[in-house]
Structure 1
Amino acid sequence: MSDKISLKSAISIGIGGMVGGGIFAVLGLAVSLSKGATPLAFLFAGIVAFITSYSYVKLTLKFPDNGGTVKFINEGFGKTIFSGSINNLLWISYIIMLSLYASAFGSYAPNLLELTDSVKIDSHIYSSAIIIIATIINYYSVKVVSTIETYSVAIKLIILIAFIGIGIYGLFGNPNLSQLSAKNWESPIQILTAGMVIFVAYEGFELIANAGSNIINPKINIPKAYYYSVSFVILLYIIISIVTVGSLSFDAIKSAEEYVLAEAAKPMLGKLGFTVMTVAALISTFSAINASLYGGSRVSYQIAEDDELPHELTGQFWNQPIGLIITAIATLILVNFLKLESISTAGSVGFLIIFAVVNYVGLKLSKQINAKRWVPLIGFILCSLSLIVLIIKQFESNKTGVIVALSIIAFCFIIEYIYKTTEKKTK
């Protein structure tokens, strides 16, 4: 029974996957895009994630497998060029998420150093260094990665909940609270766009699928694990955004966009609050980088094992999948060449496509998995419409992010097409 996962542990996997570095990285960006309607932006994104979790529940119950999303896509489409391309996109989306977490780490780290030293180090150096350190840890011991994740989930949740408790008390009498009123909201389409740009903050609940075959009493605990974890995180993000927008002026949030949670702790606890929240951000993003490196390398292994990428990727380098070093190198390139908004946009586009496909699989296999057809249908429509709105609106203000996202998608299909056609000729 030692390999079995309890409901509590399964929920922790979901919450830990979502509350990684995402909220620390994209909260300031969300406020910049949606102003006083930031809680609504998080709610919109959360609704899409919650509906999508229904398809994941049904598919995990029917196809419990360590391959998770990769397994579901292959069950829906077979091992085709399309399924291989989407699975490749999943791997690259993990790399994009790693870049987001590393970027957040690099944004928070200099603020902690400033408290003790006048010497400033460029944020890219911090971002690159933490990727290298996490890669070394992954090569050294998977058990260390697991231990770091276990403790960091507890630490960051304690700090965030304390931030919420103290922050709500501090809102009374704060003039910035009026910023949440409807007169400070952006247009509905802009709020939706903001929600989709920050959709990456909800990426992570799908990791429960990778543990589905080991969850105790799956028929009861798998649905609870998904629904409880996603619901908790939606509520957590909404309250955090209310406290942040109600504590700081929009100008203050804009100037501290990349480390806004630490700045939001200042009005309540002064320098101590800033320091504690910065430490929480560093712990959270570091653990997310560790876990995502591990997850990304396993995804690449699974895709190669399913013959959708060269079989050489099932090989090892220093007793770890060769995909680990490829994932780390690709992350270093992205984090040093793209801005935060472009990384977030590319990540959201990737996961909206993946979740749209998973919802479609849920719809296609609804009889087989005993699902109500209308739920995955709504999930597919919401993901698809959100994707279209995101691309159109972001192209107006962030062409780089959209071009990068579309280029990545094209790259995934081209590589898979070349591999599949080449493989047929060699057989």
Structure 2
Amino acid sequence: MGEKLGLRSAVSMALGGMIGGGIYAVLGIVVAITGATAWLAFLLAGVVALCAGYAYVSLNRRVGHPGGAVVFVQEYLDSATAAGMVGWTLLVGYLGSMAMYAFAFGSYFVDLTGVSLSLPLPVVGAVPVARPAASLLVVAAFVALNVLGVRETGVVEDLLVAAKIAVLGVFALVGLHYGWQRGSLTLGLDGVGGAGALTAAASSFVAFQGWQLLFYDQDSMANPRRTLPRAVFVAIPVAVAIYVAVAVVTVALVPDLVRQHPETALAVAAGEFLGPVGRAVIGASALVSTASAINATLFSSSLLTQRLVSDDLLPPRIGAGDRDTDGAPPTSAVLALGTITAGFAVLGSLQGITSFASLSFIVVFGGACALALRNAGNLGCSRLVPAVGLVGCGAFLPLLFLRLYRAEPATFRTVVVVGVVVVSMELLYFRRPGLYKRVRESLTR
């Protein structure tokens, strides 16, 4: 408490947000889309994320307080409506991210414990409930902890991130050695073609969003103007390297098993060349990683909710609470976010949740790149880097929609409906003064 974060802690925070749950949740989905070139999908997504990180860092130079994309829009566009819509889009992305982590937690919990419970229902028959129940309970647990104001300390967070990286590093190194001896390692370059890798990169984009949580905590950093950029530019490449190595190992050694068990791909792969103990270690690491990611994202998104309420960008009741002056998020925001997250995690599919969250961050990161490109002259930054990020996000968006339309029509319809509802609610909320005036005028006639 009261101790400023240095570079190591800032990098840990960023890596914790990316490696904390992303690789455990999205690996199977990426492999299902693009096969042996899954590593290329992660590399492409990482490059676009790094360009977005550059845009964030550049835009942040002229901003004197934390807030990320919402503050950037307020500063550079001076539009409360645009800032509010960005904030709402970010919240949707965070809800999807937390639901994805909770879904992965439940899947790995069932795989690790072997628990199998079903609920007999009329017409549909027996419905598995072990995974949804585990997802629901882990969200409820961290909602309760955040309501009570319990957080991981900086030391605990550093140790957890180090442990996650160590587990995945051992997995990748042992797997590479094992695959090299068997002669089964491949990059799948002969199969590169079409838009498979780009589509998979779009689907995995949510796995690279954790670094931008740093922009909410920059007031807690020692010399943030120096520490924040360095943390972003260290954390994203490290995450990309780990994702690429894990993807190469997993796809090269057990491609069929990964496709059959996309929700627990890493644990299944570890069992093949590390045995039952390795599978258990990966499963336990997945539980800790996804749970920690839920906790961190819930805290940060609750603080974002509080800021949106204070700027009149969300209804006041959502941010109501008696703990909004001591650094803890308001109770009502935590409860609201936790309830929606639990609903998504219990009722949604992993593909649908991941796509839903990825779309949100593609839109926000693409907007940040466009903003940096537009103001490059005043900021003194490169035009090329944000341009690459903008092109990447511009390609990801239609490809992800096309993928959902062709392969997941039910998910596509759900995403479109939810998107229309959210945008409609945003427009109604931010245009409400004019609407109220028109209603009053019509009633007085």
Cα shift at 1:285:
0.3
Report what 1:231 is aligned to. Answer: 237
Show the counterpart of 1:376. Answer: 386
Cross-structure match for 1:271: 276
**Equivalent pair of 2:48/2:388 in contact (CA under 8 Å):** no
Quote the residue 1:187 is aligned against: 193
Give 1:151 shift. Answer: 3.6
Offset, 1:64: 4.2
Map of 1:240 onto structure 2: 246
Contact in 2 for aligned 1:346/1:404 (Cα 8 Å): no
Give the drift of 1:74.
Answer: 1.9
Deviates more, 1:167-176 or 1:44-53: 167-176
Q: What does residue 55 of structure 2 align with?
A: 55
Q: Who is 1:337 aligned against? A: 347
Distance 1:152 1:43, change over 3 A: same
User: 2:110–2:116: 8 Å Cα contact kept in structure 1?
Assistant: no
Rounded Cα–Cα distance in structure 2 between residues aligned with 1:283 and 1:344: 20
Deviations 1:70-102 (A, max 9, x none): 211222332332331121010111001011000
CA distance in 1, matches of 2:432, 2:226: 45
Post-superposition Cα deviations, 1:333-385, rounded to whole Å, max 9, x if no partner, equal 11122111111111111100000111122123323332223322232222112
Q: CA deviation at 1:168?
A: 1.7
Tell me, yes or no, if the aligned pair for 1:148 and 1:287 is still in contact at 8 Å.
no
Q: What is the letter of the counterpart of residue 167 of structure 1? A: G
What does 1:209-358 align with in structure 2 at a 5 Å threshold? 209-248=215-254, 250-316=255-321, 320-321=329-330, 322-358=332-368
- Give the letter for the 1:413 counterpart: V
1:111-153: per-residue Cα shift (whole Å, max 9, x none)? 1112xx6778621111111110111111122434767644422
Name the SS for the 1:37 alignment partner: helix
| Matched-pair contact (CA < 8 Å) for 2:71–2:83 | no
**1:360 equivalenced with 2:365 (yes/no):** no
How far, CA to CA, are the matches of 2:381 and 2:427 in structure 1? 32
What is the alpha-carbon distance in structure 2 between the residues aligned to residue 277 and residue 267 of structure 1? 12
Asked whether the 8 Å contact 2:257–2:269 carries over to 1, the reply is: no
- Deviation string, structure 1 residues 197-237 (Cα, Å, up to 9, x no partner): 01111111111211233433344333211111111111111
Residues 69-148 of structure 1 mapped to structure 2, 5 A cutoff = 69-114=69-114, 122-144=130-152
Change (3 A) 1:370 1:305: farther
Distance 1:146 1:288 in 2: 14
Tell me if the contact between 2:318 and 2:336 (Cα under 8 Å) persists in the aligned partners.
no
The CA deviation at 1:14 is 1.3
- The Cα of 1:287 is off from its aligned counterpart by 0.3
Q: Is the 8 A contact 1:65 1:211 kept in 2?
A: no
Residue equivalent to 2:126: none
> Larger deviation: 275-284 or 413-422?
413-422
Q: Secondary structure at 1:307's aligned position in 2?
A: coil
AA partner of residue 155 (structure 1): A
Which residue of structure 1 aligns with residue 123 of structure 2? none
Alpha-carbon distance change, 127 to 379 in structure 1, aligned in 2, over 3 angstroms: same
What is the one-letter code of the residue matched to 2:228? I
The structural deviation recorded for 1:292 is: 1.0
Query: Take 1:311 and 1:61, find their aligned partners in 2: how far apart are those partners?
Result: 30
CA contact (8 A) 2:145 2:151 kept: no
Residue segments in structure 1 that go unaligned for 5+ positions in a row: none
Counterparts of 1:297 and 1:22, CA distance in 2: 20
| CA distance in structure 2 between the aligned counterparts of 1:245 and 1:135, rounded to whole angstroms | 36
Structure 1 residue 186: Cα displacement: 5.7
- Indicate how the Cα distance of structure 1 residues 311 and 423 shifts in structure 2: closer, same or farther if over 3 A, else same: farther
TM-score, length-normalised on structure 2? 0.89
Alignment partner for residue 391 of structure 1, among 401, 404, 411?
401
- Residue 425 of structure 2 aligns to a residue whose secondary structure is helix
Alpha-carbon distance change, 77 to 412 in structure 1, aligned in 2, over 3 angstroms:
farther
Match of 2:185 among 177, 199, 203: 177
Structure-2 change in CA distance of 1:181 and 1:10 (3 Å): same
Residue in structure 2 matched with residue 155 of structure 1 by the alignment: 163
Kindly tell me the number of residue pairs found equivalent between the two proteins.
422
Q: Which residue type is aligned with residue 20 of structure 1?
A: G
Q: Which residues of structure 2 form unaligned runs of 5+?
A: 119-128, 438-445
Q: Deviations along 1:265-324, whole A, 9 cap, x unmatched?
A: 123320000000000000000000111111111111111111111133332167741211
Query: Over alpha carbons, which structure has the higher Rg?
Result: 2
Q: RMSD of the alignment, in Å?
A: 2.2
What amino acid sits opposite 1:294 in the alignment?
F
> 3-state DSSP class of the match of 1:389?
helix
User: Is the partner of 1:29 in helix, strand or coil?
Assistant: helix
Contact persistence 1:60–1:212 (CA under 8 A): no
1:304–1:311 Cα contact (<8 Å) kept: yes
CA contact (8 A) 1:61 1:212 kept: no
Q: Is the 2:15–2:211 contact (alpha carbons within 8 Å) kept by the matching residues of 1?
A: yes
Identity of aligned residues (%): 28
